[in-house]
Amino acid sequence: MRYTPPTNPAERLRRSQAQANGQHDQLDDTPEDEQDAPPAGPALITADELMHMVFPEPRWAVPGIFAEGLTLLVGAPKLGKSWLGLNIGVAVALGGRAIGKIPVDAGDVLYLALEDTQRRLQERLSMTLRGEDAPTRLTIATEWPVLDQGGTAYVTQWLTAHRDARLVIIDTFQKIRGASNGNQQNLYAGDYEAAGKLKRIADEFSVAIVLIHHTRKMAADDPLDTVSGTTGLAGAADTTCVLRREIGRSDATLYIRGRDVPEADHALNFDGTTCSWTLLGDASEFRVSEERRDILNLLRDAPTPMSPKHIAEALSKKDGAVRKLLHAMVKAGEVDGVGGAYRLPLFPGNTGNTGNASNIGNTGNGQHDYVQSVTGVTTVTGIQGSDQRETDVDGSAGDDRFTS
C-alpha cells in the first residue's frame, strides 16, 4: 500500500521530531485513516444464514458414549477406569467392539498412560488382547509435558500427523494439568481454562479426547457433582461419564450426560480374569434383574412362603416396590403366590398361579407340607453366576498390574 503522509499537524510534528532524534522505531507508516481503526470483531451471522449452513455429523469414537469433543471419565480410585480406557483404546485401534458390544470404526488412538510404566502396560495389553496381535494404530506414552509446558503442542503435533485419529485418552488429567493454586475463583478459572485448551484441540481436529479423572469422596444427588475439583471441569467438557459401583461388586454403572450424547445410565460388568469391561444394558433394567435375582435367592432358601413385607425387610427394600415386582414376577412365572405369600414355582414353566391351592399340591388345606427343594429356578438374563472368582473390579490380587 502506498504511504500517505499524515495531514494532522500534531502527528506531522511528532514524526519530524522522532526522525530528527533518530527514533525510527516510533515512525509509523500506517495510513492515518487506519491508525485508529478498531481491531477485527467477532464473526457475526444471522439466524437465517445459520439455518442454511450444512455441517457434517459428529464423529464418534464409541457411538453413544464418546463423541468428538472433550469427555471427562471420572470414578473413584482403583475402580477400573484405566482398564476401561485401555479396553476402549484397543477396540478403536483394531476396529472391533467396545466394551464387548458396541461396534466402532477403526482409527488411530493416542493413549497417555501417565500413571503406568511400560512394563505394567505390556502386561495389561497382553491381558486385554488375549492372544490377538497388538494394534499398530495405538500409540502409547507414559510421560508427557504438562499443558502449559508443551503438552497441548505435542497433542496437536500428533493429531496433525495422524489425520485418521479418532480418540485421545489422557490418564490421568491431573498428570497433564499441572499444579493449581489460588482462591476458589481462580481454581474454577484454572480448571475451566485447562480443560478448555484440550477442548479447543478436540474441536479443531474433530476427535474425541477423554480425560480420566477422579471423583470426590463426598456423595451427591447429581452425578456431575461428584467430579473432583470445581464445576469448571464439567462445565468445559462436552460430555461427562461417571463410573460407579458398590464395594465388593464386579458390576458397575456408567452414567453419561453431554451436549451431543443422549443422557444414559449403562450397566457394566468387570471380568477379573480378562480385566475387561462388558456392557450389560440399561442400568435401570439391570437393577430390576438384580432385585429379581435377590428375591429368587431369598425364596429358594426360605422354609415357607414369604409375605411381601418379610421379603422387603429381609432385602432392605421398600414394601411397595417389592409388591410391584412380585406381581410382575408372578405374571412371568418366576414365583407363585400362595394366599398372600410367595414362593418358587413347584413346577418349572408354571405361568404364575396366584393362589389356587388345588393346582399347587393343595398346600392351602394344610394336608401337605411346603416343598422346600425346588429345581429349575428361572435364570435371570445378563446376571453372572455366583461362583465367579472373587476379585476387585480392577482385578487386583496383591499385584500392581491390577490397579487403577
**AA identity, residue 252:** A
Task: Identify whether the C-beta of residue 256 lies closer than 8 Å to the C-beta of residue 263.
Answer: yes
Task: Determine the average pLDDT of the residues in 148-160.
Answer: 96
Query: Tell me: the pLDDT tens digits for 286-330?
Result: 776 778 888 988 998 899 999 999 999 998 889 988 898 898 888
Q: What number does CATH give the domain 60-262? A: 3.40.50.300
Task: Determine the average pLDDT of the residues in 379-402.
Answer: 37
d(CA 21, CA 23): 6
pLDDT value at residue 69: 96
Query: Could you tell me the pLDDT band of residue 176, with boundaries at 50, 70 and 90?
Result: very high
All three cell numbers of 344, joined, read: 418358587
Percent pLDDT > 90 in the chain is 45
At residue 4, φ and ψ (nearest 5 deg) are -115, 120
Query: Could you tell me the pLDDT band of residue 2, with boundaries at 50, 70 and 90?
Result: very low
Query: Tell me: the pLDDT tens digits for 219-241?
Result: 787 877 788 878 888 889 999 99
The DSSP string of 159-173 is HHH-TTEEEEEEE-H
Task: Measure Cα distances from 36 to 30, 150, 327 in Å.
Answer: 10, 36, 79
Measuring CA to CA, which residue among 333, 341, 285, 346 is closest to residue 311? 341
Residue 383, pLDDT > 50, answer no
Which ranges in the chain are annotated with CATH 1.10.10.10? Answer: 287-365
d(CA 389, CA 223): 30
Kindly give the pairing relationship between strand 276-282 and strand 264-271. antiparallel
Q: What number does CATH give the domain 287-365? A: 1.10.10.10
Query: Tell me: the pLDDT tens digits for 85-141?
Result: 999 999 999 998 999 999 999 999 999 999 999 999 999 999 999 888 999 999 999
Residue 29, pLDDT > 60, answer no
pLDDT value at residue 196: 94
Work out the number of other CB atoms within 10 angstroms of the CB of residue 215: 21
Residue 145, pLDDT > 90, answer yes
Task: Identify whether the C-beta of residue 332 lies closer than 8 Å to the C-beta of residue 353.
Answer: no
Measuring CA to CA, which residue among 249, 251, 253, 215 is closest to residue 234? 215
Percent pLDDT > 70 in the chain is 74
Edge-to-edge order in the sheet of strand 69-75: 138-141, 108-113, 165-171, 208-214, 69-75, 239-244, 251-258, 264-271, 276-282
Task: Determine the average pLDDT of the residues in 384-390.
Answer: 33
pLDDT value at residue 380: 33
Residue 28, pLDDT > 90, answer no
Question: Helices then strands (H, E): number in the chain?
Answer: 12, 15
Continuous segment of H or E residues that includes residue 334: none
pLDDT value at residue 20: 56
d(CA 148, CA 155): 12
Task: Determine the average pLDDT of the residues in 199-228.
Answer: 88
All three cell numbers of 92, joined, read: 478403536
